[in-house]
Structure 1
Amino acid sequence: MTQESDPHTISALDDEGLLLRRRRKVVLVVDLVESVSLMQADELGVIKGWQALVAYVTQSILPGNEGRMVKSLGDGLMLEFDEARHATATAFAMHAWMATRSHPLADGHTMNLRAGVHATEVYTDQHDIYGSGVNLAARVATLAGPGQTVVTAATRDLLDDEVDGNFEDLGECWLKHIDQPVRAYRMTPMRKIRDIAFRASAAKAPVMQPTIAVMPFLFHNGDAALSVVGDLIADGVIAQLSKADQLRVISRLSTRVLAQRELGLDDLSTRLGADYVLSGSYYAAGSQILMSAELAHAASGRVIWASRRTAALEDLFMVRCETIDEFATEINAAIFRSELVLISTMPIPTLSSYSLMLGGITLMHRSAHADFVRSREVLEHLVERHQRHPLARAWLAKWYVLCATRGLSTALKDDATRALDQTRRALDSDPANSLALAMEGFVYCHLIKDFDKAANRLDEAVTHNPNEPLAWLFKGMIHAFEAQGPQAQSASERARALSPLDPLAYYYESLSASMAIANGNYEEAIRLANRSLQRNAIHPSTYRALAIAQALSGHVDEAHATVERLVRLDPTYSLTRFKKSYPAADRAPEQFRLLVEALRMAGVKD
């Protein structure tokens, strides 16, 4: 297409007969912050630093981003692009170079850039660009702070949120010599969204869950009519993974578009903002489908899980497919294991927020004292990083409760105060946060032993969010402590149904075993406790529930064997400790005596 036939290009002759072309361009203006004072402090250092930046821009940044340098003024640059994403990527690259590779100036001064981007119609010739839009780009740059990029709404409309970058709306801004206010946005690179989004905008909570993209499975052979099965498999896995509230799952409408572009893992991760990518393929052999899948950690490219499964074609069309369920369960567990490895091997300040969250939760539920202590360090660092985020504080409150129930607390009243301080701060940030409300109910139940307040908080939690599984789980425990067996078991079933892929499924099953005991359903309690121990064989509370259920159902010898395993894990466990920590001794005295007698029958010493 010639320039004259391009609908975005208009040619005109000025009075001197010079040819000007009007084109749609994206203009990037960058200037050096406090250039005058820097020159006064270290003139030669600034000149050398600026020359090095210009050389890097022309040789390394612009070629890959299809840009053209229009002007270099000694303390500012003007560049033009056809694509907005290339302009903003160039700005980010320049900021990164200045932050990591520029040499410090005399007396500790540093060089910083600020950038403005505007998409506009401009007049161009072989040397320069002209027009009011060019001036506007320069004015927009004045809205940016050191190391920042600000874009106009016209530019923002050409970019994809959480693909090209992260945006903070600055509203309508008045600029010098511009008659009308200009809508502007501060923009940050996508890869930094998890660490800086909260600091950039206190109203927007940071991402606290890892994100997974499930790509359509690729078809290798067989009837062409079966080529849609790859989408069917992906849909099933997405539907199951979406039930785990610890994960963020990318919509298939997004992954399907990118699957058709044959992008590499790094490009998929960048464009989708995914921390993990699931991909796979399948073969058709008659009515059987052989599926291969692998889960990769996007940042490292490391495959953290892989599996092969065979399923009947008709099963894949069912609402619940056992093979798809197995895929989803194993994927969820693999992500948790991956994050736990990071917690164990990397220094806390370098970890992402979701790694801290998942690792802290997992370590909190381990029996090893060192792991439990580490979980507090992790959660406290997360609270410090995101002081107004309710989730981190809610989980830290739970840590104090578990510290008491495990017999590790040396000051119960102080721990209760610390726990309530965390939940109240969480609710100050988000009064309707169902997890924070549930945890506050948990604190009132176990540490304060105020069952009325506990029940009120848990009722509030399920009112704000009827699908909060921990609120239903803790409600079930309140019913169990008050000897309301049927209500307890009903709440436990609802909690487990709401979070069927929960990485802490053993914890749900462990507490559900206690609720089944309150309902007199001892065989069900034994089944739940054994299944919980299959998932986590080092959780002492589960052995206690199992021993009680075995003793009450007449399996006394098995109960003794269970207690022996309990004492090996927790040598200080005793009836005295159980009596002291049990929160409802006065609330349901007959049930309390029954539990104490069952533990004595099972061999627990005073």
Structure 2
Amino acid sequence: MAWATRAVLLVDVVESVRLIEQDEVGAISRWLALVEDVRADILPSHNGRLVKSLGDGMLLDFSEVRSAVSAALAIQDASERRNASLPAEQKIMLRMGLEVSDVIVEANDVLGRGVNLAARLMSLAGPGEIVISQHVRDGLTPSLDADVEDLGDCFVRHLTQPIRAYRIGPPGRHPMIRQGALLDELAPSIAVIPLASRNIAHDHGVLGEVLAEEIIRGLSHSSSLNLVSRLSTTAFRGRDVPMGEVGVRLNADYVLSGAYGNGDKRLKLDVNLSETKSGRILWAESLEDDAFAILSGEQELIGRLITAVNAAVTTRELQRTRSQPLPTLKAYTLLMSAVSLMYRLSLPDFEEARRLLQELVDRGIRHPIPLAWLANWHVLRVQQGWSQDARQDTYLALEATKRALDIDPDCSLALAINGFANVNLLKKFDVAYESYESALEINPSNSLAWLLKGTLHAFRSEGQQAVDHTERALKLSPLDPHRWFYDSLATTACLANQQYERGFELAQRSLRANRKHTSSWRVMTIAQWQLGRFDDARKSVQELMKLQPTLTVSGWLRSSPAADYPIGRAAAEVLRQAGVPE
């Protein structure tokens, strides 16, 4: 058993399972050709060794750091040249991790902590990226050996302490790192085909174009869907084209199509949502409303349609997570399913949401959205009373928002959730307020930022501002699938402004949609008590204690951002009188 200081480079094929599922022979052939390039052309000139090929990866070692870095950049360049003529779905994208340390060197293997750390560093790399350790960074001359970007302290699986990591690219090429994953990697695309007219002689299908435009406008408010332009979808109006071809030509995962008929001042829509890959109809319905109401901008029918489409797409993506191995799932499937499961607030679903988000992060997709939702998960975990270590969850929430904002400082969602974490977990009102202000400056229509900012005002007993902001959030998100969460936080604003009847209505609506949110039961208890419904308030506390049996008034005061303000003291007294133990 011989020990030696070696630079260990791990190379991994991103989404190898998907590539092989799509084209087994082609993917394997292209990979083996690249491995041969590395073995025959790159390693000899860099004093490197192919320790072993891992099926969808390589383990390489080198005598010193600069040779290893130069070889890694050469491998990346060779991969890019081979990918140049291939369509996006066939490209082999590599990610690499590099560490230098004392390892056990054998004829066909390299063993030791250095190999494990190289694997952990590789997990931080996105497609086409190379991540190195502090030890490797110390052996480089930036701008001469490589362009170096500091990633800061990063948490990785199976290590209790963070590791300092750096991302590298060829020297002198800027920008070194591509921006985060394209948005369409994190949201499925849907094409709305203008509805066909059953009265074509009368309106020539013009109304179908108008309806399609209204549906597209409504669906575009959802951050979980990408919409194909109506100018592109119009080409398929009235054509009998297989769904698979529509999907390929429009790059769409789903298609909404159908027909309409009008008469006697009524408009009837027959619509269906299809999955382009399988051709399956996922949802179909007949809707009817007053024609003038629709054309004059009233949104009830369109709103019902949009809600149904969102629900059908989310259900389909959830089905995939339960029927297919995680490595085969698209990024948007993981993200949509994780957010949906997170807000169910059932503990098994909540834990599954964490697993899906972690899978997405582990793929190395450099986009702030998954990290922002991961931070949100940690905040909700503490709020629900499920955290075994609130201090650790607080740290992980803030670390996730930091990483998200390192990727994109102008990510409105990450800024909003950063504020959420700071005010709810650390009671840092000033930091949270600045985060909310920045989020809204970037996106004035960010309903979550308005909601959370309103809640901050509520915690400080600034009732009117709280109500103004949360009501604005409700108007901006009339069809949000997690509307109950908005209603719950808007209740807090009403309590701060002593609008107890309105607060009761909102809490009631929130609990009808989701009875597992502990905060909803707390604000319901307070609203009922302030309205003189003492017995109902005591019953609400019983439901609250079932969900959070360890809850105490003193414990709530220690954790609540409102504890030092009039609303917090009043809430504590109500909870005490309604039956929460001291």
Q: TM-score, normalised by structure 1?
A: 0.67
3-state DSSP of counterpart to 2:85: strand
Q: Which residue of 1 aligns with 2:253?
A: 275
CA distance in structure 1 between the partners assigned to 2:363 and 2:79 by the alignment: 24
C-alpha contact (below 8 Å) 2:492/2:523 kept by paired residues: yes
Q: Which residue of 2 aligns with 1:568?
A: 546
Q: CA deviation at 1:453?
A: 1.1
1:332-343 aligned within 5 A: 332-343=310-321
Matched, 1:262 2:240: yes
C-alpha contact (below 8 Å) 1:556/1:601 kept by paired residues: no
Matched, 1:205 2:186: no
Distance verdict in 2 for CA 1:286–1:570, change over 3 Å: same
CA distance in structure 1 between the partners assigned to 2:201 and 2:31 by the alignment: 65
Matched, 1:408 2:386: yes
Q: After alignment, is 206-215 or 407-416 more displaced?
A: 407-416
Matched, 1:596 2:547: no
Query: Counterpart amino acid of 1:470?
Result: L
CA distance in structure 1 between the partners assigned to 2:216 and 2:529 by the alignment: 43
Distance verdict in 2 for CA 1:104–1:256, change over 3 Å: closer
Q: CA deviation at 1:455?
A: 1.0
Structure number with larger C-alpha Rg: 1
CA distance in structure 2 between the partners assigned to 1:580 and 1:418 by the alignment: 20
Q: CA deviation at 1:297?
A: 2.4
Matched, 1:450 2:428: yes
Unaligned runs of 5+ in 2: 1-18, 39-76, 94-124, 130-176
Distance verdict in 2 for CA 1:558–1:498, change over 3 Å: same
CA distance in structure 1 between the partners assigned to 2:29 and 2:395 by the alignment: 49
Q: Which residue of 1 aligns with 2:140?
A: none
Size of the alignment, in residue pairs? 445
Q: Which residue of 2 aligns with 1:309?
A: 287
C-alpha contact (below 8 Å) 2:507/2:520 kept by paired residues: yes
3-state DSSP of counterpart to 2:302: helix
Q: CA deviation at 1:594?
A: 0.9
Q: Which residue of 1 aligns with 2:340?
A: 362
CA distance in structure 2 between the partners assigned to 1:569 and 1:287 by the alignment: 51
C-alpha contact (below 8 Å) 2:27/2:90 kept by paired residues: no
3-state DSSP of counterpart to 2:318: helix
Q: CA deviation at 1:337?
A: 2.3
| More relative contact order, 1 or 2 (CA 8 Å, 6+ apart) | 2
Distance verdict in 2 for CA 1:477–1:357, change over 3 Å: same
Q: Which residue of 1 aligns with 2:455?
A: 477
Q: CA deviation at 1:581?
A: 2.4
Query: Counterpart amino acid of 2:83?
Result: Q
Q: CA RMSD in A?
A: 3.3
3-state DSSP of counterpart to 1:254: helix
Query: Counterpart amino acid of 2:402?
Result: R
Distance verdict in 2 for CA 1:105–1:298, change over 3 Å: closer
Q: CA deviation at 1:469?
A: 1.7
1:372-391 aligned within 5 A: 372-391=350-369
Q: CA deviation at 1:273?
A: 1.6
3-state DSSP of counterpart to 2:480: coil
C-alpha contact (below 8 Å) 1:551/1:599 kept by paired residues: no
CA distance in structure 2 between the partners assigned to 1:574 and 1:390 by the alignment: 36
1:291-330 aligned within 5 A: 291-330=269-308
CA distance in structure 2 between the partners assigned to 1:561 and 1:412 by the alignment: 28
Q: Which residue of 2 aligns with 1:524?
A: 502
Q: Which residue of 1 aligns with 2:26?
A: 99
3-state DSSP of counterpart to 1:150: coil
3-state DSSP of counterpart to 2:258: strand
The one-character-per-residue Cα deviations of 1:244-277 (angstroms, maximum 9, x if unpaired) are 2222111111111133543211111111121221
CA distance in structure 1 between the partners assigned to 2:308 and 2:85 by the alignment: 43
Q: CA deviation at 1:481?
A: 0.5
3-state DSSP of counterpart to 1:428: helix
3-state DSSP of counterpart to 2:205: helix
Unaligned runs of 5+ in 1: 1-91, 112-141, 152-160, 169-195
Matched, 1:435 2:417: no
Identity between Structure 1 and Structure 2 (%): 36
Q: TM-score, normalised by structure 2?
A: 0.70
Matched, 1:492 2:465: no
C-alpha contact (below 8 Å) 1:283/1:289 kept by paired residues: yes
Query: Counterpart amino acid of 1:480?
Result: A
Q: CA deviation at 1:568?
A: 3.5
Query: Counterpart amino acid of 2:366?
Result: R
Query: Counterpart amino acid of 2:371?
Result: R
C-alpha contact (below 8 Å) 2:189/2:253 kept by paired residues: yes
Query: Counterpart amino acid of 2:271?
Result: A
